[in-house]
Amino acid sequence: MQQQARRQVDAELRRRLHDHRRWVDSAGKEGRQLQAQGEDLSGIDLSGAVLTEADLSGANLDGVSLARAMLVSAELGGASLQDADLTEANLSKANLDDGRLNRASLRRAGARQLSLAGADLEGADLTGADLRFSYLIGTNFEDAVLRDAMLLGAGIRDACFQGADLQGISGFEQLHVDSIRVVCDTAGRVLNGAEALDWLRQRSMGKA
């Protein structure tokens, strides 16, 4: 992930974030849910922000800092988070389907039941991420780092792991693997079922 200067939150966005926090804390009785579909929030420092159930679908979040942010059940489908910092963010039950997370940092992110169907995580860093019961359908992990990631109960189908660092991944006892791609292009090698699971297990032990 590239390091870059962050834009500060302006007064209007600060007010909307405050209203959203009130909405979350009051279970919808006060404040207002953050609706930022398709907005350009690139480069903004949102570290530690409470964005539970916020709608950020299709938003431009490139280069944003969401380190330690609360994004539980947030809607991020189709959003762009290239080079974003999501270190230790809570993404449980969030939707990132078709998201673009190239080179993003999700180190030690809490991502249980996160949906990443069709998402592009090429070059992303998911070291130590908790991906239990996540949905990895058609997800691109080319050249991504998933060292020590927890995949217990995750569902994997047609996901690409070309060049990915999978050393130390765990959760094989309840990992549901339908198919994986070891080369990402459409004509690339596909492994199914037990063969795919064994390939992942071997890579988790550092075996080529």
pLDDT in tens, 143-169: 999 999 999 999 999 999 999 999 999
Q: Which domain holds residue 59?
A: 1-208
pLDDT at res. 4: 55
Domain count of the fold of the chain: 1
pLDDT at res. 208: 67
pLDDT of residue 3 exceeding 60: no
Please state, in angstroms and rounded to a whole number, the distance separating the CA atoms of residues 159 and 133: 15
State which H helix or E strand residue 177 sits in.
strand 176-181
**Distance, C-alpha 155 to centroid of its chain:** 15
pLDDT at res. 2: 45
Please state, in angstroms and rounded to a whole number, the distance separating the CA atoms of residues 188 and 185: 5
> Quick one: which of 174, 171, 168 has its CA closest to 205?
168
**Distance, C-alpha 41 to centroid of its chain:** 17
Model pTM score: 0.93
Segment 97-109, tens digit of pLDDT: 999 999 999 999 9
- For the domain that residue 4 is a member of, what is the CATH number? 2.160.20.80
Q: What is the mean pLDDT of residues 113-132?
A: 98
